[in-house]
Structures are given as structure tokens and as C-alpha cells.
Structure 1
Amino acid sequence: METEKFKSLEIAQKNPLSPVFYVYLNRPSHRNALSRDFFTEFPKALASLDQNPNASVIVLAGVGDHFCSGIDIRTLTSTSEESQSSDRGRQSERLRREIKFLQAAVTALEGCRKPVISIIHGACIGGGIDIVTACDVRYCTEDAFFSVKEVDLAITADLGTLQRLPSIIGYGNAVELALTGRRFSGSEAKQLGLVSRVFASKEAMEEGVRLVAEGIAAKSPLAVIGTKAILLKSRDLTLDQGLDFVATWNSSMLLSDDLKEAISSYIQKRKATFSKL
């Protein structure tokens, strides 16, 4: 499968036999600041991997010294300039449409059926927080640092941090970070629950997460995508509604060849082999 070329991203498969694919934010000279190209290309990249039967797990990383320094100031400037109009109503409608376009690029992480793991080193600021909070699992290095920076730029964060971060680290912690815009470390991110583990180095993180990703990719793809879908849907449902939703989901997905293979491999004490999705 030929990989599409992007201006702001790179898609890589480190091992041609591995179902783990890597998406790299690829503007290292700009500390991977999010350009206009990113917001157009990122959903396309995720959709291509979502539909690729050879891809089971996606790892999101940054090229260079930093994960992501936030939205490129030029992207913000162009958004503001494009929204100029003598008609206040039309100006506001155009700006709202533009914000929704930017939001959709981040929400594409949740729309992707396959799990996305973000690995964070260096800076993860502003828009970087928006991105990682929409990922399914997060890891970082000891030297990583984070900031919900928008308030310092006279902006109310609008790409998902204020909606997703409270459910990850708790409402009170999210409010404090969002109002102060303060910088916090990888170890504090672990303490808050923003990341699952902190690694001593970028190299250690890449190897550790490769093993995690390979482990997830070896499981039943129906079970993996179902687990992601149910967890995301259940955020917006009551307990009873969530239980009803998963009952409906499993009534259509549970009786599969994956279930038969999982049971037989367990009994035979061998590694399970599942068909691609």
C-alpha cells in the first residue's frame, strides 16, 4: 500500500510485518506547531489507517526535540483574517465554521476505530494537549512538559481540552491547569493521570510503547475496536444506558470467529491468530 505524502505529517511502518503504524507530526523546525496543512491532512491520515486492514494500532509521535508546541500563530492569524467581514453576523458565522473545521481534525482521533497511543517528549503545549487528550492512551518521557496555554494567548481553549481533560484528570485539576496556563512536568502528568507511564528517555519510551502496541495489536481486532467504541460512547451515557449500549453492541459482535479462536488457543495453550479487520 503506497503511503500518501503529507506536508505536515509522516506515516511510517517500522516493521513491514507489524500491524503497528506510526503517525509523526513532522515540522521539527517549528517544534511541530500545527499548521493549516495539519488540520486538512490529519483526518485524511487517520482515515487511511482506519481503512487499512494491515493497521491495528496507531502510535502518534513528534519528529525532533518536541511533540507539539501548539497551533502555529500563522494559523491563528489567517483564521482571524479570513473571518473579517463588515457584517458582524456573517463574520461570526464564518469564524464558528472555521473553529468547527479545526475541532474536527482533533476529534478524528476518536472517530478512528483503531486505538491511538500518543508518545510525548519535549513540549506538549496548547493544541498539543488538545491532541493527546483525544488519544486513547498517553505516555511521556521524564523531560516532557505540558501547558494548557490558551488563556495566556487571550483564547478560550476550543479544540477539545476543556471537554476531555476533566474526565481524564478530574475537574478540579483541569480547572487549575486551564486557568493558570502553568507548565507542568511529565512526573506531574503521571501523578494527575494524564499519562499512564513516564520513561527515562525517548528511546526507552519508543521501545516500551512498541511492545505495548504490539501486544494490543495481537488481540482480537473486534474486541479492541469494540472496547474503544464502548468507552467513548459511555462517557455521554448514564450507567444504564451504557450497559444497554454494550449489550446491543455485543449481541451483534460477540459471536465471531475471534471468540472461537480465543477460546481454542487458550485451551491449546498457543498464541491466538485473528483475521484482519
Structure 2
Amino acid sequence: MRGFLACAMLAAMTSAAMTSTATAQVSDDAVRIGVLTDLSSWGRDNSGPGSVEAAKMAVEEFGPTVLGKPIEIISADHQMKTDVGVQIVRGWFDNGKVDAVVDIPNSGIAIAVHNMVRERGKIALLSGPGASSLTDELCSPNTVHFTYDTYALSKVTASAVIKEGGKSWYFITADYAFGQQLEKDATRFINEMGGKVLGGVKHPTNTADFSSFALQAQSSKSDVVAFANAGQDTDNAIKQSGEFGLVQGGQKLVGKEPWDYLEIIKTVKGEDAFRPVSESKCPLLKK
């Protein structure tokens, strides 16, 4: 909790330091942090009210002021819609005097906000999205992306599962930025580690019925069925795949929430899980 807010405070102070005086960059009478999250759609259970409450708890733990000004937490529901998220953040910057935007589950929305933040000279602290492009080719000095990304999730998961005998894979993938990036990164590591992707199918976000996708995965006869999705989509997909007997038939189900990360990180050292500088496409890095 303290680390979360400390990062926000550092961002605010960094933003302030871009001008000759701290007060020139911080909003008029308070340091305002906007929690942009999902309060009503398929990602609500994994962020949403929990993210808002965590930010408030962090303020209580950190202390009520920074830069001599009170800290305020505000929040809004992006409904898992990019246009809604962008409109909210634009309003925050134009009229709400918000200094930093945090959380942002949904990589598509996060990428759009990330671009706006850079244009406006603001700060984004991303704990919700997972697309590794945010810290690779799209990297920005205005964005901090932490908690996890698709590169690390894919590397440690593929390593652990393949070592356990899961050589052939089939993907059920959410058709948006996060799902596409997770499947792409995972496919790379599966191939590098001697595995093989037999195929896959894409589904729209907020899908209730995964029966046809589960049956396609079952007919592939793959060792592993990987769910490159999130939130209620992952919950529904795994539950329905279980009901169709995939596990009983010998297939291993692997889903992001995160991808059994706390257990499989034992397979790959933390410092080896993330993208090395030598491989990065970030133009900010000196190689």
C-alpha cells in the first residue's frame, strides 16, 4: 500500500520539478490522484472498488499531505470502453486539476491514456494493464508501469508448464490489446522452450458463453489450454471448460489472474523474468 502511494507522490514531485517552482505544476490547492478503473463491467472484481479503497488506505498510511498540500483521491468508471476512459481523463486534466492517473485495468484504455498523459505533461501509474508494449516500444518518461506485464507472465508460465510436460498449447484469447499481446509473447517463449502452439480462437470481451471455444480447445487435443484474457472472462472460461471435461480429459488449464504467478515465479528468478535492456525497443534506454 505504502509503495503504491509513494510511487504516486514521487510522480507528483517529478511533475512539479519540471518547472521552476513546485506549485507551478501541482494543481491549485491539492495533489489529486485519479483512480481510473472498472466499476461496472467484466474487470470489476479484479480492480474496481478494491483499487479505489486501496488508494484511500494508502493515503491514510502515507500521510495526508505532500509538497505541503493535501492529497485527494478521486475515481471514475471507464466501463471498459476506450472512448469513455479518454473522455474522463481529458475532463480531469482540463477541469479537474488532476496530477496523476492510476490503475487503468484494460491495456487498450491504458495505451490511449498513456499517449494523452505524455502530450499533456502529466503522470500515469499503471498497475492494472498488462501489455508489455507500454514499457517497450511505447515507453514514456511520463508513465510508470508496474505489478506485471505480458512478457513476464508469459516467460515464467511457459517455463513452468513446459517443464511439467505441457508441450502443446491452444489459446482462447480476448480480442483486445492485452489478450493479443499475451498470446504473442507466450507463443514466442513456448517455441523457444521446445513447445508448440496448435492453434487458438479469439473471443470478444465480456463473453458469457464459452462453450464453443471450450469445445474447440478440447478437440485440439493440446496438453495445455491457455486463457489469454482477464476478469470475469477468465472466470467464465475456466469454469465452463471444466464443466466440459477438459481437465478430466487430461488437459491443463492456464489462465491469467495472474498466470499462477506466485507459484511459477519459483521457476524463473525475478530478475530473469522481465525483458532485458539489450532486447528492449524503448527509445529512452541507452544500450
TM-score (norm 1): 0.31
Greater helix share, 1 or 2?
1
Greater strand share, 1 or 2?
2
TM-score (norm 2): 0.30
